[in-house]
Every structure is written in structure tokens, then in C-alpha cells.
Amino acid sequence: MPRLTLQTAGESHGPLLTGLVTGLPAGLRIDAAAVNADLARRQHGYGRGGRMKIEKDEVRFTGGLRGGETLGGPIAFEIANRDHGVWEKVMAPMDVDPDAAAKRRLTSPRPGHADLAGGLKYGRRDLRDILERASARETAARVAAGALCRQLLLALGVRVKSGVLSVGEIAVPEGPRSFEDLEKVDETSPFRLVDRGVEAAAKDAVDAAAKAGDTLGGTILVGARGVPAGLGSHVSWTEKLDGRIARAMMSIPSVKAVSLGEGVANAFRRGSAAHDAIYHEPERGLFRTSNRAGGLEGGITNGEDVLVTLFQKPISTLRDGLPSVDIETKQSHRAQYERSDVTAVPACGVIGEAMLAFVLADALLEKTGGDSMEEVKRNFEGFVKAQKQF
């Protein structure tokens, strides 16, 4: 059973997003400014749409904290949707203006989006009922929850970072990637690339796609340093940490593939070139000289940096719309347009950090137990000490 849980609620143009996190120990100091900083990072990036100029996401805690310190119970928070004022007659939770709602009705689903599949599943004839919840706007709540988990991890010496490897066809030079690459990422950069040498080309690619009414995807590296060996387990498929990480990353909108370490490249190598040899020296203990496994073996962390590559498809909302069908008339119709981004690859990395932080915090608390930060730290230190004596 997971130690941590996260439940979010709210629609893209509803009044607000709500989050409820359970399982964090008592006594964890929460820095709201740090949470808001991650929310701002999620909104950052070249190629974002007009919505980012309207929203200025800030978290408001409504339960589970006292004086900025966790109490051990569920932590409730909300993030206001500033755009709701314009949409209130359409997206109010109780009273909706029929005429205003009719003008925003969506009946021509976008290929690649949840519109049609969700409409079929839930029997909704106005596909706005699907897109409002399927929207990536929901990830703001996940970033806030991940920021709480990041603060738990930092208290135990674990750091989580990300960086962009490619935008469309523009990619940084190939080569083995490490956490050091992520530490070099400039957070003020419009793309958060691990190598700013291709930044100008990436900007040109986004501008060209925008001019054509098209969109771009890309790849992102997310990593964690300081993760001890022994998180996760090989004894059950549900406990394998690589599977849990992959599930969390695949839940991010538009992420359609995940690679742990050099998982994709390893599929084309011989075994002798795919694994990480083990060495031992008295002063260092057990160690590796490579990290092709991305810090996980047999579903368990092995003490190396955890490295995950995300593959994000192009956003499915295109200005001119792909061929579709009006579900009411059954006639051919271009997919309807909703205000959107040209690319959200830089933001995807921030969301990936949040999801990795959440999964690692869950696995760590699962291993250490403890209802207070004092107890968690004591158990964590004993756990790490025992490993060094192995």
C-alpha cells in the first residue's frame, strides 16, 4: 500500500484546483515560497500560450499545517484559476448560463486528445465536460504536491532536477547523460536545455511551428541524486520502483514513452555493453563507473542517480485543426480549436520533477516508516549506515 496519496480536483476553467496529500510525517517545515517557485517554473518556457499570461499560480494551504509545519494529517491546498472570471457563466459548478455554455460547446473532438474517448466513456455529448478535466492545467496541483515532497527529500539529502534534451527535431549533442548535466541547466533559459548551444535553433523551430499553426514535442531528462539503495522491491510487480516511476511519468499529459537510464539504447546493445559493472574499494565500498541502468536494478534503487527520460508528443490542439467529425451531425469537420501552447516541453520537465519527487518520497517513507520527521530522519540515518557496512 502507498504511504503517500494525492487527490486533485478541479477543471481547467473552473474556480480553482484543489489538492489533498496524505501521508507526510508531522514536523516537516513547509516553505510556501518554494512551492510557488515551482509553480512559476511550470508556467515558464518559450512556446507557451496566452493562458500563462493570465494565470500567476500561487498555493493557498487550507489544512494540515500550523505555522508552516505539517501536523501529520492530510494537507489540503488550492490554486485559483484567474481565468475563471471570463468563464464563470460557462464553467460555474452550480449555475451555468445555457446560452453562454452553448457558445463554448465542443462537438468536434481533437485527434490525440481525450475528447472523443472520454465522451464515449462518460456519455457526455458536450466534450467540454471531458477536456476541462483532461487539460494539463490539472498538473499545477501535482507540481504543488511534488514541491511538498521535494522539501521532504531535501531534508534527507535527496535532490531532484530536470533538463530538456530536444524540442521537435532540435536536439542537444548525443552522449551518456548524468545528473551533472541537470545541475548545469539555466532556469532562466526559455527552454531549460541541458546544452544552450542549440537554443537559437530551438527558438526558430518553435517560431516556424507557430507560423504553420502546428505544435512540437520533445524529450526531457529528469533525475534524482542522493537516493539510497533499497527503495522499491523485486518481490512483487506492484512494488517494483521502476514500474511505479514509469506509471507516474506516463500520467503526465502528452508523455507517451519513458526510458529508465539508457533503457532505449540498451535494447540495441550486447549485454556486455548494457550493464554497470560492480567494483569495491575499502575507502569507497561498493561502486559503479557507469549508470546505464539509471539507478534501478530489479525494481530497486541501487544507490546511483535515478535518471528517467520522458518522450512528450506534440500537443494535440492545432490552430487549423486536424480532420475530425462533428459528433452531432456525423459530418466531417475540422477539430475545434482551444487556446493552447505551441510546445510545453520545458514545463513538462518541472511536472516530471514533481512526479519523481512524489514517487521517491513515497518509497522512502515506505522504507523508513515514522510518523514524525524526527523519527523518519533517525530511521533513514540507520538505514543508510547499515548499507555502508554491508
The alpha carbon of 351 is separated from its chain's Cα centroid by a whole number of angstroms, namely 3
Q: How far is CA 78 from CA 57, 70, 202, 340, in A?
A: 10, 16, 34, 23
Domains of the chain, with CATH numbers? 5-388 (3.60.150.10)
Report whether 365 contacts 25 (CB < 8 A).
yes
pLDDT at 268: 96
Q: How far is CA 43 from CA 17, 49, 170, 250, 315, in A?
A: 15, 10, 22, 20, 16
User: Shortest CA distance to 38 belongs to which of 359, 358, 327?
Assistant: 358
Which grid cell is 171? 536536439
Which grid cell is 214? 502546428
Sequence-ordered list of residues with C-beta below 8 angstroms from that of 331, at least 6 positions apart, any chain: 325
**3-class DSSP state for residue 327?**
coil
Q: How far is CA 66 from CA 24, 28, 221, 365, 374, in A?
A: 14, 11, 36, 22, 17
**3-class DSSP state for residue 312?**
strand
- State yes or no: pLDDT of 223 exceeds 80: yes
Which grid cell is 387? 548499507
pLDDT digits (tens, 9 = 90+) for 93-132: 999 999 999 999 999 999 999 999 999 999 999 999 999 9
pLDDT digits (tens, 9 = 90+) for 346-375: 999 999 999 999 999 999 999 999 999 999
CA dist., res. 177 & res. 200, Å (int) = 22
CA dist., res. 76 & res. 74, Å (int) = 6
Neighbour count for residue 26 (Cβ, 10 Å):
18
pTM: 0.95
pLDDT digits (tens, 9 = 90+) for 303-344: 999 999 999 999 998 888 899 999 999 999 999 888 778 999
User: Shortest CA distance to 293 belongs to which of 255, 250, 264?
Assistant: 264
pLDDT digits (tens, 9 = 90+) for 77-92: 999 999 898 999 999 9
